[in-house]
């Protein structure tokens, strides 16, 4: 009744003598294994096709052909070779090897190691997420040898309870992860650390050269532990997770080559706020070893630098620095304070908060919660016989009026103000309610500035710009033979640079771009003669007198090869 199955189908046949009684004509277990291999092959083909399209892998079509060919060859061998188990295992190994080989190729194109696939770290993340396994304590706590020591508040003034808590926490995974986080940030020249909670993870992002970059995320449990450790160090309330809090702490960074040197102290400003997913924290890193000491380090053109020195060396006047948040305004004013002989002059600063310590200077920290405002403290220090006053920021009418009056009564006043450019800072003062004549007679100069990223010296590329592009930028076509850019900039491969020195961004470090608006007698007359100054007319007059605009100053750095057109356009537009 039953004829023998062909040899090509014998892999599915029941192993008993054939023919036989009713039932068990197929080996369902083997059939299930074949279907599993078919499903794995289809999933692999789909993943490779989607992934290579998203990352635009150059050899993407070739990988698609390899994936299809592997499955086709496996199917042929499965039906042609009687040794089922050997062929099935061979197919599974081939699929695994193919997946790993493709993963190695695509991982080279992904800078963020937290998104690398089929790596030991990837498998650990999967184990943490789905199996709730934690590998952080294998072989001892991570970060045990990291040369970082938390010392609490500025000056090491932590209370006894804080020190007791930290001592108990030193062996915990959260403490070691916090040390590792700080150490990695210092090595990567980070200015801000962002810890952002989600349902399952705590996202970590670093601001490097003004640009946010995602790092490997933490498990939510470890992330919450890191937040608590840092809140304790900063002496914040760890039970309060909804209301905003801010504080500060210091960490001692030891030199591995000189363990007995004591290392250096690095200041951290901490700010927390509640969100729907949990508590977010931002840490601002203030490294004294990288502080600017004088105007020569800021990259001014000699003419602009000499003009600023002339202004800050005057016995009285108001010198403003303007720009958006993160433009380096405070750094410029700190460098200006270093140009003053602080041994023969009484220098007092009002800051919120104090970022860097300056020798022979009285530094006062403003705190609105305790009733210490810029205006109130400014009135107080005017009775302390100051020669130079540094005000962290002019943000209201009262502070602006007192600053202008102080500048007119024999004091040199430095401050910052938020505005897009130097000339619009003039209007900003008047909008705050200061009389135009008072502004005209108190102002000495306004410096507008931005920070642009410098091209990486090890991987930047030279190229010949088109004449049309040079004409649009008002650059001489016949004199500029080449410009520089980041590898792949302007193409879809701009994020696929593997340079280790710049971390794959094509940029390392930042330069300042400045426009100095010197208040001349002619401009003072224009300000006083108008109830609302005409910014365009004043800017045209300033240009006639030698002021160079931000974009023009930026193009000087483009021509010298220090930065790119794309970066100048991004920052100075």
Please tell me the pTM assigned to this model.
0.71
- pLDDT less than 50: residues of the chain: 1-12, 14, 137-143, 155-157, 494-495
Which residues, 6 or more positions from 272, have their beta carbon under 8 angstroms from its beta carbon? 227, 231, 236, 244, 245, 246, 279, 280, 281, 282
- Measured between alpha carbons, how far is 78 from 72 in angstroms, rounded to an integer? 10
CATH of 295-453+512-555, one of 3.40.50.720, 3.40.50.300, 3.30.470.10, 3.40.920.10: 3.40.50.300
Q: Which two tokens stand for residue 168?
A: 């108990």
User: Residue 469 phi/psi, 5° resolution?
Assistant: -65, -40
Residue 62 confidence (pLDDT): 83
Alpha carbon 218 to chain centroid distance? Answer: 18
Q: Which two tokens stand for residue 436?
A: 């135009």
The alpha-helical segments, DSSP class H, found in 198-344 are: 220-233, 302-312, 329-337
Beta strand residue intervals within 288-436, DSSP E: 317-322, 347-351, 362-365, 388-391, 412-417
**Residue where the block lists tokens 């094509």:** 506
Provide the sign of the torsion angle of the four alpha carbons 55, 60, 64, 69, taken in this order.
negative
Residue 542's SS3 state is helix
Give the Å distances, CA to CA, from 389 to 312, 378, 458: 11, 9, 43
Q: For residues 410 and 315, is the Cβ–Cβ distance under 8 A?
A: yes
Q: For residues 12 and 26, is the Cβ–Cβ distance under 8 A?
A: yes
Single out the residue of 424, 387, 402, 450 nearest to residue 517, CA to CA: 424
Residue 372 confidence (pLDDT): 81
Number of Cβ atoms within 10 Å of the Cβ of 341:
11
Q: What is the pLDDT of residues 384-425, one digit of tens each?
A: 999 999 998 998 899 999 999 999 989 999 999 988 889 999
Residue 523 confidence (pLDDT): 92
Residue 9 confidence (pLDDT): 46
Q: For residues 335 and 294, is the Cβ–Cβ distance under 8 A?
A: yes
Residue 41 confidence (pLDDT): 82
**DSSP per-residue codes, 164-187:** HHHHHHTTSHHHHHHHHHHHHHHH
Single out the residue of 335, 296, 342, 340 nearest to residue 317, CA to CA: 340
For strands 148-152 and 245-253, give the pairing.
antiparallel
- Measured between alpha carbons, how far is 249 from 156 in angstroms, rounded to an integer? 8
Single out the residue of 434, 439, 389 nearest to residue 410, CA to CA: 389
Residue limits of CATH 3.30.450.90 in the chain? 148-290
- Measured between alpha carbons, how far is 91 from 97 in angstroms, rounded to an integer? 10
Residue 257 confidence (pLDDT): 60
Residue 265 confidence (pLDDT): 86
User: Residue 164 phi/psi, 5° resolution?
Assistant: -65, -40
Provide the sign of the torsion angle of the four alpha carbons 127, 132, 133, 134, taken in this order.
positive
Q: Which two tokens stand for residue 97?
A: 């090897």
H-helix or E-strand containing 540?
helix 535-544
CATH architecture of 148-290: 2-Layer Sandwich (3.30)
- Measured between alpha carbons, how far is 88 from 37 in angstroms, rounded to an integer? 8
Residue 389's SS3 state is strand
- Measured between alpha carbons, how far is 222 from 217 in angstroms, rounded to an integer? 10
Q: For residues 420 and 394, is the Cβ–Cβ distance under 8 A?
A: no
Using the 8-state DSSP alphabet, how is residue 258 labeled? Answer: B
Residue 272 confidence (pLDDT): 94
Residue 131 confidence (pLDDT): 67
Beta strand residue intervals within 456-566, DSSP E: 461-463, 483-485, 507-518
Residue 492 confidence (pLDDT): 52
Number of Cβ atoms within 10 Å of the Cβ of 170:
13
Q: What is the pLDDT of residues 159-188, one digit of tens each?
A: 566 666 666 666 677 888 899 999 999 989
Q: CA dihedral in degrees (311, 312, 318, 320; nearest 10)? A: 90
- Measured between alpha carbons, how far is 135 from 379 in angstroms, rounded to an integer? 58
Residue 20 confidence (pLDDT): 54
């Amino acid at each position: 009744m039953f004829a023998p199955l062909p040899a090509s189908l014998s892999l599915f046949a029941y192993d008993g003598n054939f023919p036989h009684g009713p039932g068990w004509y197929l080996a369902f277990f083997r059939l299930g294994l074949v279907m599993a291999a078919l499903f794995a092959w289809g999933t692999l083909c789909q993943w490779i096709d989607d992934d290579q399209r998203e990352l635009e892998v150059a050899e993407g079509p070739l990988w698609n052909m390899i994936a299809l060919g592997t499955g086709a060859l496996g199917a042929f061998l499965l039906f042609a070779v009687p040794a089922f188990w050997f062929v099935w295992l061979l197919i599974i190994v081939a699929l695994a090897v193919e997946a790993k080989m493709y993963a190695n190729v695509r991982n080279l194109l992904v800078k963020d190691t937290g998104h690398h696939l089929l790596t030991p770290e990837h498998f650990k993340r999967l184990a943490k997420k789905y199996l709730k396994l934690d590998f952080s304590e294998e072989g001892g706590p991570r970060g045990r040898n990291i040369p970082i020591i938390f010392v609490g508040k500025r000056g090491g003034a932590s209370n006894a309870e804080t020190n007791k808590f930290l001592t108990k926490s030193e062996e915990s995974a959260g403490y070691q992860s916090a040390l590792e986080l700080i150490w990695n940030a210092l090595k990567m020249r980070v200015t801000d650390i962002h810890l952002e909670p989600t349902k399952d993870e705590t996202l970590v992002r670093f601001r490097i050269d003004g640009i946010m970059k995602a790092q490997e995320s933490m498990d939510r449990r470890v992330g919450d532990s890191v937040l608590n450790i840092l809140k304790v160090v900063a002496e914040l309330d760890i039970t309060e997770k909804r209301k905003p809090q801010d504080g500060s702490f210091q960490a001692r960074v030891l030199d591995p080559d000189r363990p007995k040197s004591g290392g250096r102290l690095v200041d951290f400003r901490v700010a927390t706020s509640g969100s729907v997913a949990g508590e977010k924290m931002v840490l601002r890193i203030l490294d004294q070893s990288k502080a600017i000491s004088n105007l020569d380090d800021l990259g001014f053109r000699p003419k602009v630098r000499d003009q600023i020195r002339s202004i800050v060396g005057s016995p009285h006047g108001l010198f403003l620095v303007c720009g958006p948040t993160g433009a380096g305004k405070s750094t410029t004013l700190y460098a200006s304070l270093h140009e003053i002989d602080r041994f023969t002059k009484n220098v007092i600063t009002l800051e919120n908060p104090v970022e860097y310590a300056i020798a022979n200077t009285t530094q006062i920290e403003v705190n609105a919660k305790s009733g210490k405002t810029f205006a109130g403290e400014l009135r107080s220090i005017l009775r302390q016989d100051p020669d130079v006053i540094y005000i962290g920021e002019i943000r209201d009418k009262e502070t602006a009026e007192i600053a202008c009056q102080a500048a007119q009564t024999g004091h040199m006043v430095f401050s910052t103000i938020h505005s897009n450019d130097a000339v619009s800072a003039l209007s900003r003062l008047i909008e705050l309610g200061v009389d135009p004549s008072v502004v005209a007679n108190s102002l000495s100069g306004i410096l507008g500035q931005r920070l642009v990223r410098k091209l990486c010296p090890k991987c930047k590329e030279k190229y010949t710009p088109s004449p049309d592009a040079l004409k649009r930028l008002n650059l001489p076509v016949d004199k500029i033979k080449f410009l520089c850019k980041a590898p792949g900039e302007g193409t879809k491969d701009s994020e696929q640079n593997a340079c280790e020195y710049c971390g794959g961004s094509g940029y390392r470090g930042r330069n300042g771009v400045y426009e100095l608006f010197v208040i001349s007698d002619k401009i003072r007359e224009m300000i006083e003669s108008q109830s609302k100054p005409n910014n365009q007319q004043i800017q045209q007059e300033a240009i006639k007198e030698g002021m160079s605009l931000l974009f023009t100053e930026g193009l000087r750095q483009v021509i010298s090869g220090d930065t790119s057109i794309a970066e100048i356009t991004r920052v100075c537009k």
